[in-house]
């Protein structure tokens, strides 16, 4: 095969992975509802993975604070082999089930734990999920194999049947794409259900750089119906919070009262407006 044929084949296979995720929508939605219930009650969301699965989980967890304004402790990832495994393979790390148990030791009964393993057999992930379930945590398996140890260990299972890989056994391909798509859906849908999105905009965005500060300014202009100088003043008074700034202007209140109104609405902006 020439390069174009190889790329075309890989692209088709990735599309097949996306279709497999779409077929798993009901299971993903059930997991979202269960996770939302735990987080609303003060719990946390833990991801556990090894290799590619762990790296994808870490990426999803790391992107929640800047995107949705969550504290870094709300969505956390545990990867076999620790931080070193994020940049290079740590041989044998996924086989250490006891390390998985230790990694998840701070997951309590009010938390949600998602174990990610394409084969569903990584001992680090399976043991972690089993230990978390014993302590009363909500446990969710994300795997490509229905009859796997991970699926059996968890309370809920998201099985994404991605089929054989274009390069046999290389689960960083279709299975990796599927894991990325599912975690995107889990975290994003959860944050929507928690009121951290208004319509389709990120109203809890953390304005940590010039691009995001400009985005926050645009959002305040659009949602509060003000010009840029007024939006700048509102953002300054609100401590950089888009939702607080918009509530301040639309309800004619100060920042403290705007925060109270948002707290009363469970973090949703729409009832405040």
For residue 206, what pLDDT is reported? 79
For residue 2, what pLDDT is reported? 97
Residue among 63, 155, 233, 260 flagged as catalytic: 63
Model pTM score: 0.92
For residue 208, what pLDDT is reported? 75
Rounded CA gap, 7 and 113, in Å?
36
Tokens of 193: 């259900």
Q: Give the DSSP per-residue string, 225-246.
A: T--HHHHHHHHHHHTT-HHHHH
For residue 212, what pLDDT is reported? 84
For the chain, domain boundaries: 3-193, 210-272
39 SS3 class: helix
Domain 210-272: which CATH number of 2.40.50.140, 1.10.230.10, 3.50.50.60, 1.10.8.1080? 1.10.8.1080
Is 134 designated active site? no
Is 228 designated active site? no
Residue among 13, 84, 91, 94 flagged as catalytic: 94
210-272 shares the fold of 3-193: no
48 SS3 class: strand
In this structure, CATH architecture of domain 3-193: 3-Layer(aba) Sandwich (3.40)
Rounded CA gap, 259 and 245, in Å?
10
For residue 68, what pLDDT is reported? 93
For residue 213, what pLDDT is reported? 87
* Helix, strand, coil content of the chain in percent (nearest 5): 55, 10, 35
Reading the chain (273 residues) residue by residue, the pLDDT tens digits are: 999 999 999 999 999 999 999 999 999 999 999 999 999 999 999 999 999 999 999 999 999 998 999 999 999 999 999 999 998 888 889 989 999 999 999 999 999 999 999 999 999 999 999 999 999 999 999 999 999 999 999 999 999 999 999 999 899 999 999 999 999 999 999 999 999 999 999 899 877 788 888 999 999 999 999 999 999 999 999 998 999 999 999 999 999 999 999 999 999 999 999
């Amino acid at each position: 095969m020439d390069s174009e044929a190889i790329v075309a084949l890989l692209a088709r296979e990735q599309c097949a992975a996306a279709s497999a995720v779409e077929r798993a929508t009901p299971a993903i939605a059930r997991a979202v509802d269960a996770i939302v219930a735990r987080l609303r009650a003060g719990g946390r969301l833990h991801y556990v993975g090894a290799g590619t699965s762990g790296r994808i989980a870490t990426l999803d967890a790391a992107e929640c604070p800047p995107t949705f304004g969550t504290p870094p402790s709300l969505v956390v990832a545990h990867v076999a082999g620790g931080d070193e495994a994020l940049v290079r393979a740590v041989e044998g790390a996924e086989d250490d089930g006891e390390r998985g148990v230790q990694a998840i030791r701070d997951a309590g009964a009010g938390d949600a734990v998602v174990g990610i393993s394409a084969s569903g057999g990584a001992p680090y992930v399976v043991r972690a999920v089993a230990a978390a379930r014993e302590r009363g945590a909500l446990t969710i398996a994300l795997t490509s194999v229905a009859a796997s140890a991970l699926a059996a260990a968890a309370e809920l299972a998201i099985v994404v049947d991605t089929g054989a890989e274009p390069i046999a056994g290389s689960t960083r391909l279709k299975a990796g794409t599927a894991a990325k798509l599912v975690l995107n859906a889990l975290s994003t849908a959860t944050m929507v259900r928690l009121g951290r999105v208004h319509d389709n905009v990120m109203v809890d965005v953390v304005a940590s750089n010039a691009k995001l500060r400009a985005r926050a300014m645009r959002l305040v202009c659009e949602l509060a119906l003000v010009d840029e100088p007024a939006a700048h003043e509102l953002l300054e008074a609100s401590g950089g919070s888009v939702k607080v700034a918009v509530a301040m202007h639309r309800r004619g209140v100060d920042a403290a009262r705007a925060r109270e109104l948002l707290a009363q609405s469970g973090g949703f902006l729409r009832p405040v407006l």
